[in-house]
Amino acid sequence: MASSAYIGRFAPSPTGPLHFGSLVCALASFLDARHHHGQWLVRIEDIDPPREIPGATHSILNQLESHGLHWDGELLYQSQRSHAYNEALEQLQQTGLLFSCDCNRQRIAELGGIYDGCCRTRQSVTDAALRLQVPDAQNGRIVFDDLIMGRYEQNLCCDVGDFVVKRRDGLISYQLAVTVDDQFQGISHIVRGADLLDSTPRQLYLQHCLSYHHSQSVTEAIHYAHLPLATNAEGQKLSKQNHAAALPSGSEVDSLWFALDWLRQAPPEDLRSESVATLLGWAIDNWVLGNIPAQMALPAGQDV
């Protein structure tokens, strides 16, 4: 019986089929949920049409099922949640912390990627992004304890600056959408890649600005675990941009076994000749999150 105390999720973007790196994230989040007798949800983060590939969602869902990673409840599609994001924007507008910004990418790059607040006092302009004002350096420190990486600290003012919540092209930012949806789904545990570690303070700040921490939702105590990134021989994160190979069909047991080995779960060699269900059953019973090294990246190896 699932415990309401644990609700985890896997949230892929439909930019291509799953590869080894994305399987690692899906598997780790699945196993952590199942080991704790919790729920495991799947959310399709399809709010960036220019990056999406037709048919990718269907491929991802088929790959999850063929690898025995069956989700609970209904799928959530971010493309169907624009009303919720707009309501959140209206709520943020009422705080007085939102402002329009028409700074281009070149200017932000020249600032070292850290926005300097130059548009805070300007009147609203059209054809502009919406940014959320962050606290000053004295009050902008966000600290949380990651279940893998340990204590992580970021000063939003010094390390990030006011950040975008609605893009200039009208699309909702990842930071806002994921925060709103984690609250909506009652997510209690997030297991994801270390490339999102530095996004977590922004999401914690958004939770605060949207008063989620005052509610009775389990989101007020989300537990984060950021996995090392699986990298190729050149040290690049496995991704579609870096031409990571899609998971081979018909080799699901081997793919899962290698992913478990990469996650330092020490799967017995003889499980490679067993079924997906048998391998996952062993993995659920023997899952130890603490075995995963606190590193930002690990090579995927030559066998995947």
Task: Give the C-alpha separation, 180 to 212, whole Å.
Answer: 9
Mean pLDDT (whole number) for 112-118 = 89
- pLDDT, average across residues 278-301: 93
What does the pLDDT read at residue 241?
58
Question: 18 lies in which domain range?
Answer: 7-79+187-198+228-299
Write the CATH number for 47. 3.40.50.620
pLDDT band at 246 (very low <50, low <70, confident <90, very high): confident
The answer to whether residue 106 sits within a structural domain is: no
Total number of domains in the chain: 1
Above 60 in pLDDT, residue 270? yes
Residue 240: the pLDDT is 58
The predicted pLDDT at position 297 comes to: 84
> CB of 23 within 8 A of CB of 55?
no
Domain-embedded: residue 13? yes
Candidate from 8-22, 164-178, 230-244 with smallest mean pLDDT: 230-244
Give me the residue label for tokens 């699932």: 2
Check pLDDT > 70 for residue 3: no
Q: Is residue 66 part of a domain?
A: yes
Highest-scoring range by mean pLDDT, 81-85, 245-249, 293-297: 81-85
- DSSP bridge partners of 13: none
Question: E-strand spans in the chain?
Answer: 7-10, 39-44, 76-77, 98-101, 129-132, 141-146, 150-155, 163-166, 189-193, 223-227, 229-231, 297-299
Residue type, 249: S
Residue 135 lies in a domain: no
For residue 235, being part of any structural domain is answered with yes
Q: Once rounded to an integer, what is the mean pLDDT over residues 116-126? A: 83
For position 239, what pLDDT does the model report? 60
pLDDT in the model for residue 112: 87
Does residue 118 form part of some domain?
no
pLDDT of residue 280: 98
Of 148, 122, 144, 149, give the one whose Cα is nearest residue 133.
Answer: 122
Burial label, 147 (beta-carbon count in 10 A; 0-12, 13-18, 19+): middle
- State which of 2-16, 48-62, 237-251, 288-302 shows the largest mean pLDDT: 48-62
**Secondary structure (3-state) at 259:** helix
According to the model, what pLDDT value does residue 303 have? 46
* Cα dihedral 58, 298, 178, 140 in deg (nearest 10): -170
Q: What is the predicted pLDDT for the residue at 209?
A: 95
**123-140 mean pLDDT:** 89
Helix locations, 67-219, DSSP H: 82-95, 105-110, 174-184, 200-209
- Which of the residue ranges 121-130, 229-238, 248-257, 264-273 would you say has the lowest mean pLDDT? 229-238
As a whole number, mean pLDDT of residues 10-30 equals: 95
Within-domain flag for 99: no
Does residue 267 form part of some domain? yes
In the sheet with 7-10, reading across from the earlier edge strand, the strands are 7-10, 39-44, 76-77
